[in-house]
Structure 1
Amino acid sequence: MNFIERKFVELHNHEPELTTPSDMDAFWEEVLHETRTKPLNAVRTPEETPMLGTETYRVVYEGIDGTPVHGYYSVPTVFGKENYPCIVFFHGYTGSKGLPEHFATYLMSGYAVFSIDIRGQAGDTGDLSPLQDGTTKGWVTKGITDPRTCYYKSIVTDALRAVDWAAGQPEVDPKRVGVSGGSQGGGLSLAVSALGDRHAFAIADIPNMCYMDWSIFNTTGSITEAAQYITKYSERLDTVLKTLSYFDNMNLAHRIRIPVLVSVGFKDSVCPPEAVFAAYNRITSPKQIEMYPFNGHTPGDKHIRKVLEFIRSQVQ
């Protein structure tokens, strides 16, 4: 057995001890109730694009704290169908919803797409949640001393509400809605799949929000902002780690009940394989993982075909 083969075996057997807080179920029951009972107050407005054969809308809906969340919703009307499968897309850290044209591959494969901003980052969406207990650069440490005020709570609930909105559109088949994203977006895809019940499949490429107490010490991604916070407020170490545990996909993965496609790069220092597999190995629903031994923080150009094949297998 060569080194790469040994690495495969090692990672597939990697199951670190969970860090689940004792009130995890009660916390998420409360948060999900809040998420589903507050009105979306959504508005969609036609948007012109250079693409032919599609209709696109600019969408604004409200997060549970009233923050207007912006997105683009596109439908491949060229196929002339009554309704379509829909992919709800979450972008990577510091990114945005992008342009509708960025999703032409999905549209020309026959799928509607709803891509949203992650609040406060590079799109049109701000963040009305209050700042308390200090912060460091970026967004991760906003409200990080309490799971009820934590930035991760805001972006997970925004993502859940995006799925709710998409599933309710007249052009969408609500039984064929899926979620997708990479890095931060991959982490949100896993979290939404663990906590939501209104979509049928998920793609989580090089996902973050996994094995977070390990990642805060070992990785170079956005979680380093939490490490910087602890450096500044060392007395809050235990509080921060407990807050992160509520949003750690390693602790949430057993809740997933839908098919999931995950990708991982073995040379990824942002979302290393040890973190990804810590969550992936806890998933008990149908799953597959595409492993790229020599890739860093990207699954590579050819991975899109694996994604499209997976989606097709779920929506036929």
Structure 2
Amino acid sequence: MNLKTVKFLLATVLILIGQTVFSQNSPAPLKLVEILLTPDHADWNYRAGENAQVKVTVLKYGVPINEAEVEYSFGQEMMEPEVTRRLKLNDGQGIINIGTSTQPGFRQLKVKAKHNGVAYDGQVKLAFSPEKIEATTALPADFNEFWKQNLEEITNVALSPVVEHLPTHSTNTVDVFLVTIQINAKGQRLFGYLCKPKKAGKYPVLFSPPGAGVKPFAPNTSFADQGFISFTTEIHGISPVLDATAYRSISSAFGDYWLNNLHSRDTYYYKKVYLGCVRAIDYLCSLPEFDGENVAVTGGSQGGALAIVTAALHPQVKCLVSFYPALSDINGYLQNRAGGWPHMLNPSNGKVNNRPENLLTIGYYDVVNFARQIKVPGFYSWGYNDNTCPPTSVYAAVNSVKAPKTLSITPISGHWRFEETNRESLSWIKKQLKLVETRSE
């Protein structure tokens, strides 16, 4: 056996050992002890004024634990609990009556259990006439004029795209490009990954704005594989190809960007973000491979908010998908109920941010007020167990939409969604755009 063969075999063994060690140290996909919370209404929905009960089951290895004891609290969603008590379960099971809400909204039950010194927890949020939840955020009298003026200011600004092909990220069927475009006359720019089917033809375009944070991300070729030209962007003017270490440094420097210049509607951080989304659609529609007709936008959390904003501001968008939109009904906390991410007016943050000038700015950027402008069909999806974008705030936004809407609600989910919902949303987009197969010349 020659030296080259020995080195190869040694390298192979080391790789296998590494994989074995990694698999041995992978986190468990389940908790050793589970708290199962089962509402007495299968859809988790109740009429305002109707009592709700939840069965609590503490399981180990899928079997109820005898003589388990839990501590529980309940009250209005995201607010201080109204009741905190302990309950000893019979054969690992018990019933908790969490009362009712006389107003449309959500009640939240939190349960904690200890087993062998380890704490476990669970929660469930139940809806009371959620279709009647109304937004607390008022529409400024000159809201449309404000955004019309800002859109007019960027109309004649050249996109000046810089496009770089990325062979290492491309596939056999999709070409991937790093793209940067100009947002406004100040020279601020937006970065993103453009993914195009390699097969020659005319294609619908799809814009995918990002969730919150300052972080790197990879190209997503899945939409292009489904016959779309897609553009997935960041919002901060930072190249997504920077490594994670660089992004951590940048993120620390940025801080809470959603508070940047909150005192002024003209210089607030999200102004360039919202206008950047409009420019992203402009860029997609300028591509020679665009079919000239079909434009969709989809996103979740901050991206779900930006999907609504983009559809409201850009006349070429034909449909939108918004998962658990952030920045919705931010003022909710001022009315003693859950407000939307980033919770800048909750009881803690409100001590600093609840100022007249800030509240004035919020009116021009709250997603509720863009939802009121939507004229195209939308697919909206969220869960009830979401503490990041609470369902009260999401309902406030979606209930404000007067255009046709399809709701896909999975009560059990938190700030995430099932793959089945992703497939449902993509199928919905294709149906709206009347796409059966990719059209080619």
TM-score interval (norm. to shorter): 0.7 to 0.9
Q: What is the deviation of 1:229?
A: 6.5
Question: 1:4 maps to what in 2?
Answer: 44
2:201 aligned with 1:82: yes
Q: What is the deviation of 1:169?
A: 0.5
| Residue identity opposite 1:59 in structure 2 | V
Contact 1:41 1:61 in 2 (8 A): yes
| Residue identity opposite 1:218 in structure 2 | A
Q: Looking at CA atoms only, which structure, 1 or 2, has the larger radius of gyration?
A: 2
Question: 2:152 maps to what in 1?
Answer: 33
Deviates most, 213-222 or 250-259: 213-222
Task: Give unmatched runs, 5+ long, in structure 2.
Answer: 1-39, 47-125, 243-252, 436-441
Task: Give unmatched runs, 5+ long, in structure 1.
Answer: 126-134
CA distance in 2, matches of 1:196, 1:153: 15
The share of aligned pairs that are identical, in percent, is: 24
CA distance in 1, matches of 2:254, 2:172: 44
Q: What is the deviation of 1:26?
A: 2.0
Higher strand residue share? 2
Over aligned residues, Cα RMSD in angstroms?
Answer: 2.7
CA distance in 2, matches of 1:26, 1:104: 38
CA distance in 1, matches of 2:333, 2:129: 18
Q: 1:275-314 deviations in whole A, cap 9, x for unaligned?
A: 1111111111111111111111012232111111111102
Q: Write out the 4+ residue segments of structure 1 that deviate beyond 6 Å after TM superposition.
A: 225-229
What does 1:185-224 align with in structure 2 at a 5 Å threshold? 185-214=303-332, 218=338, 221-224=341-344
What does 1:22-171 align with in structure 2 at a 5 Å threshold? 22-48=141-167, 49-64=169-184, 65-77=186-198, 80-94=199-213, 98-100=217-219, 103-119=220-236, 123=240, 137-171=255-289
Question: 1:310 maps to what in 2?
Answer: 428
Higher relative contact order (CA 8 A, sep 6+): 1
Q: 1:184 to 1:122 in 2, by over 3 A?
A: farther
Deviates most, 288-297 or 10-19: 10-19
SS of 2:380's equivalent? strand
| Residue identity opposite 1:151 in structure 2 | Y
Question: 1:254 maps to what in 2?
Answer: 372
SS of 2:263's equivalent? coil
Q: What is the deviation of 1:5?
A: 2.9
2:413 aligned with 1:295: yes
CA distance in 2, matches of 1:120, 1:227: 32
* Length, aligned pairs only: 301
Contact 1:86 1:112 in 2 (8 A): yes
What does 1:247-286 align with in structure 2 at a 5 Å threshold? 247-286=365-404
Q: What is the deviation of 1:267?
A: 0.8
CA distance in 2, matches of 1:141, 1:226: 14
CA distance in 2, matches of 1:141, 1:224: 8
Q: 1:143 to 1:313 in 2, by over 3 A?
A: same
| Residue identity opposite 2:194 in structure 1 | Y
Contact 2:178 2:192 in 1 (8 A): yes
CA distance in 1, matches of 2:170, 2:142: 50
Q: 1:105 to 1:283 in 2, by over 3 A?
A: same
How does the TM-score come out when normalised to structure 1? Answer: 0.86
CA distance in 2, matches of 1:54, 1:198: 25
Q: 1:314 to 1:220 in 2, by over 3 A?
A: closer
CA distance in 2, matches of 1:17, 1:241: 12
Higher helix residue share? 1
Deviates most, 178-187 or 284-293: 284-293
Q: 1:193-238 deviations in whole A, cap 9, x for unaligned?
A: 1121122111111111211111687358434499876544x6x612
SS of 2:379's equivalent? strand
Q: 1:302 to 1:111 in 2, by over 3 A?
A: same
Q: What is the deviation of 1:90?
A: 0.7
Contact 2:305 2:367 in 1 (8 A): yes
Contact 2:258 2:342 in 1 (8 A): yes
Contact 1:266 1:294 in 2 (8 A): yes
Q: What is the deviation of 1:22?
A: 2.3
CA distance in 1, matches of 2:363, 2:397: 12
Contact 1:210 1:250 in 2 (8 A): yes
CA distance in 2, matches of 1:136, 1:298: 25
2:296 aligned with 1:174: no
Q: 1:310 to 1:97 in 2, by over 3 A?
A: farther
Deviates most, 254-263 or 14-23: 14-23
